[in-house]
Each structure stands twice: as structure tokens, then as C-alpha cells.
Structure 1
């Protein structure tokens, strides 16, 4: 029986490999095509991820792929500067859904323009923000809702992937990282802007102190980000891409998390183990872990893709449609404004 959803992906870079792998494993999907200006790279990616003889079409031109295959889902996994143009092309097709990688366009202004086009088209565009689909964050949200930590005071994350040292930093995987004028927040910390919103709701003000430690790159690669909530809660991201943390794979969780409340503390370590220490206690009890090591970050790419397919086929609610995701970029802009001005910036009215 042919799967009900036909999917094509645009982009054959490092992270696109996780996209293609996820679609190929999805029983609701027929992966039909891959577009990249470098068709040789696309062919190598398909050969690495798919079974021999897989019939997916390879094209240099994305529009030609859309026209020839008429996909149900168009998956944009190209770098941010290409997003707006590809969204324009995808909106002119009969695709039922468009998935676009984060950071979602090259700037807030471009993202706002994309959202206006999307709104006028009436089509579904979902931003591929996969961190909220990492299984430990789904578990943490459930535990908070169930009252595990009591009244929530603060969530803190120490981001320590350890991949940012030296002149060759990022070149083997995503070389365009070196040239991004905005890096730590726009490319990476935007994950936690969304994750903190997923776990805690909307902040009313932010503060950022940013640094560039590696002179080989253009943008910032370390910083402290503070998210303030009107009810007194706080979220803190302490990010440094040059420093690592104790984990078998430092990119699995990309760091360590503490969730602190009136009844105790939850902790996430670099191997994805979730533990809890009740207030007044000395021992940590395991409450989660053993999450998938397939794919990226607890198989979060697959989970997001499944989420989109379930919405189309089974009517389940959708998360991170483009208009809702725009809020993350508004908060990102406020963080950069804060770093430039050296003061707290309100975001509630943006």
C-alpha cells in the first residue's frame, strides 16, 4: 500500500540528512525527491540514507521538483538566506503543508514578509523547530504540569556543545556558521527561546550579555540570556559553544538543565537522563531517560515530522505554525537590542 503523503526536501547539507532520514522512516510518507544546486551532494546524501535503488528524484532546481512531483509536503532544509524565496515558490504549489527549517528566514523583517505571504495564501507553513519535540522537554513539561516541582521558580540551561574552538570550527558540518553575523542567538539559542515558551509561556522582558570568543567566526558564540516573567519566574540560558560538558555525545542534549521549584529540582544531564531531588532531600531519583539515540536529539526531527503528518492525516493540533513562530524572532530581536544597549528590554508589547 502506498503511503498517503508524498514529501520532497530542498537542501542536501549536514542537517538535511536528518530530515531525509526521518522521512524515509515515516510509514505515512513516501519520500519522493531531493533538490540541491549541487546534485552530486544530493545524490550522495540519498545514497547514504536510503536503501539502494530508492526512486527519489534529484533536481538542481526546486521549482522543477515541485512541478514534476506535486508533493503533499514540501520540506525546506536549505540555509536561512534561501528561505523566503523557497517559501514563495512552495506557496505557488498545491502542497498541503510546507515545513521550513529554523531560524526561519535571514531576519525578522524577512520572516514577517514570509508570514504575510503565508497568511494571504491560507496555506499551512510549519517552522522546523525540533527542540520542543525532544523527548526530555516533553517529559519535563508533563512533570511540571503534574506538580512534580511544585510552584515553578526557574529553568536554567547550560549550553555546552564544545564544537566552537579553533580556526576550523563548524567547517566540517555547517561551514556557513562561521560567516553568520548573528550566531549564538539567531542560529542556536533560538531553540531555547522556543523551548522556554513551550515550558513556561510568554516572557515580558529579556536581557542579553553576548561575547565572541573565537576570532575565526563573524558572530557571537557565548552569552548569558535572561527571560523575565511577570509572575516572578525566570529562565536563564548560559551558552558557550567552545566549552563541552560530560556526555557520550555532546550534541545529544547540547548541555544540562535544572528545573527548580518549591517542591524540589529536576535535572537533565548530557546523556538525556532526567532526575528529581525533592526539597530537603539528598538523593536524586531517576524519573526519565533511555530516550532514542536514532536521528538527532532524541529523534526529535522524526517526532516533528510525525507531528505534521498526524495533523494532515488525523487532524491533531499543530505546533509552531509560521505565524505563531514569529514570536520567537521578535524575542530574538529584543535580545540583540538588549545586548547592544546593555539593558533589559520589554517584549510584552512587541
Structure 2
């Protein structure tokens, strides 16, 4: 299959690396407004998306650019007749725009998969398998403490993603949506949220800390505790982005900052290593590669895709509910 990418910014490096490592995919094009950046990917470089699509005729269009570009890029991919489109999150600039893009792709019969890669991280895949197999009994509580340690002072985010400073919505729109999706991957669809968001670094525009409580059927709960100014015990703070605890009636799974996952049985003190720490390729346990490989496999074998746009719209709805809850100081049902 042939893949072509739109965007050659900071995070795009992980997409290009993943495509290059796939023996059954040819990376045939890279498009960016900066031709030098596009050329640095090693693929044929373009500055115009339409030119790239007409010239290389890719099977897969991988959109790795900010939300304001998504709708037009999706439309261009549909018009060019690609077999599938992958679009980075956050998906479009608004829920309404995301719905319109979803409808366009659906009417054209082209799979539109949102690049929400955290659910493809190996620790969440392993935790999901163990939870489904009953290894922790009846699941009751998920907790994740986000501690990226990159949000302090006037230079916060400038070395990697400087646009974070001016985003009117940061913690939830850019970051916590990863765990909205990871939590629903592990526990199913939440039914209500309560959020308390705040801005701790005065030099940025959006929120950078907060607590979000998710309600699930059968009394289950999940807590996202995020603070980008604080850190956690890890050499690479961007491997897991923090620490997690997944608890049930018969045990608990603990995720540490080195990517290790441990199981402790109820009533016991010792921990059993389920997923040991290791050096992973790419980003976040090689989750970018895992997601892109999932799309290629789905196209080849006809298997259903995770996080198709129509399904992912629910994550955008939850995001809006979170901001609404923090604004009014009350629980919001979904």
C-alpha cells in the first residue's frame, strides 16, 4: 500500500518513522508548507496537498496537522479517492465541524480513522486483556495522574510545541482527551462527568491542571488528575505521561512511569510484573506504529477499525461536557 502524509512538524516524525518501518507500505509523499521540512522526511516533498494527491495517488492519507486544517484536508482526500484517511486529534476545530467531516467521509464510503493512539499503548492493551479476563475481579475504579513536568515558567512548551502557550483550551482539548478515550477503551462509555479545571501558569492561555471524575454504568468510576507543572518518577516523562491504577474487587494493576505494569492480588502485598519496563521504539510504547499498522491490517483483511470518526465523535462530546461542567461547577450527564 502507498501512504502519503500531510504535515512535517514535531509529532509527524513518529508517523514517518512508523510508515518507514512497515514492510508492506511505501511512503510515497510528504506535504508541508515548509518544503525543506517535507523533504527532510525522505519522501517525495510537496507544498500543496492537491498536487501530492494527484501525483502519488496514495491509498492512505495521513493528516498530521493542527485542527484548523483537518476539514479541508479530509475533503481533499475524499475528492482524490483515497482508500482511507487517518486524522490526528484533536479532531477538527469544533464538534459541529467534526460531525460534518464525518458525514462527508461516510457518504463517500471512505474510512476516516482518528489518530488517537494512547489506547494502542502496550500497557493499556495488556490492562484491557487482564480486566476482560477477570484478573482484577469486578472493575471498580480507574485513576490516572498526569504529571508531564513541562509546564513551568515563561518557557513552558517552547522547545517542542510552542503553540501550547496560546491554545485557549489546553489540558483537556490537547491532552486529557487521550484518557477520555483510554478510559472508554477500558471501561466502556461514561455516562456523566464532573470537572474542576484551572490555569496555574499565568503565561499560557488555557487550563493546565484539573480533576475530571467520570461515571460509568454499575457504579464504576474513573479519575483523571492532571497537572502539567508537576512531574513523576520517570527518566522519560513522555513515555506514559504519568502513573495509573486500575482497581477491582480481586486485585489492582499499577502503571509506573517506565511503562511497567504490575498486578497485586487483593489482600496481598507483593506485585507481579505483567509488562516489564523496556526501551520502546517510536513514541509512547510505539503506539503510533501500532495504530497505523491496525489501519493497514484493517484495509487488507476487512477487519473493523478502532476509533472511526463516527465513533470518536463521542470523545469530542465528552470533551465539551467536561468544559461545560467546569464552567458551571456541576455534574453533566452524557
- TM-score tier, shorter chain, comes to over 0.9
- SS of 1:138's equivalent? helix
Asked if 1:154 is matched to 2:141, the reply is: yes
Asked if 1:21 is matched to 2:8, the reply is: no
- Following superposition, the deviation at residue 289 of structure 1 comes to 2.2
Runs of at least 4 residues of structure 1 off by over 3 A? none
Tell me which residue corresponds to 1:11: 7
Contact preservation (8 Å) 1:209, 1:339: yes
CA RMSD of superposed structures (Å):
1.0
Asked if 1:262 is matched to 2:249, the reply is: yes
Question: Residues 118, 212 of structure 1: CA spacing in aligned structure 2 closer, same or farther, 3 A cutoff?
Answer: same
Asked if 1:344 is matched to 2:327, the reply is: no
- SS of 1:231's equivalent? helix
In structure 1, which of residues 106, 123, 137 is the aligned counterpart of residue 93 of structure 2? Answer: 106
In structure 2, which of residues 311, 322, 327 is the aligned counterpart of residue 324 of structure 1? Answer: 311
Distance 1:294 1:272 in 2: 13
Q: TM-score, normalised by structure 2?
A: 0.98
- Following superposition, the deviation at residue 291 of structure 1 comes to 4.8
Tell me which residue corresponds to 2:38: 42
- SS of 1:75's equivalent? strand
Tell me which residue corresponds to 2:230: 243
Distance 2:17 2:273 in 1: 31
- Cα-to-partner distance string for 1:148-195 (whole Å, 9 max, x where unaligned): 110111000001111111111112211111111111111000000000
- Following superposition, the deviation at residue 293 of structure 1 comes to 1.4
- SS of 1:12's equivalent? coil
Contact preservation (8 Å) 1:292, 1:299: no
- SS of 1:164's equivalent? coil
- Following superposition, the deviation at residue 292 of structure 1 comes to 5.1
Distance 2:163 2:71 in 1: 18
In structure 1, which of residues 297, 301, 305 is the aligned counterpart of residue 292 of structure 2? Answer: 305
- Cα-to-partner distance string for 1:288-308 (whole Å, 9 max, x where unaligned): 124551100000000000000
Report how many residues are paired. 334
- Following superposition, the deviation at residue 211 of structure 1 comes to 0.6
Q: TM-score, normalised by structure 1?
A: 0.94
- Cα-to-partner distance string for 1:84-140 (whole Å, 9 max, x where unaligned): 111111110121000000111112121112112122222111000000000100000
Tell me which residue corresponds to 1:32: 28
Distance 1:116 1:253 in 2: 34
- Following superposition, the deviation at residue 339 of structure 1 comes to 0.5
- Following superposition, the deviation at residue 253 of structure 1 comes to 0.4
| Matches for 1:185-334 after TM superposition, within 5 Å | 185-291=172-278, 293-334=280-321
Distance 1:291 1:6 in 2: 31
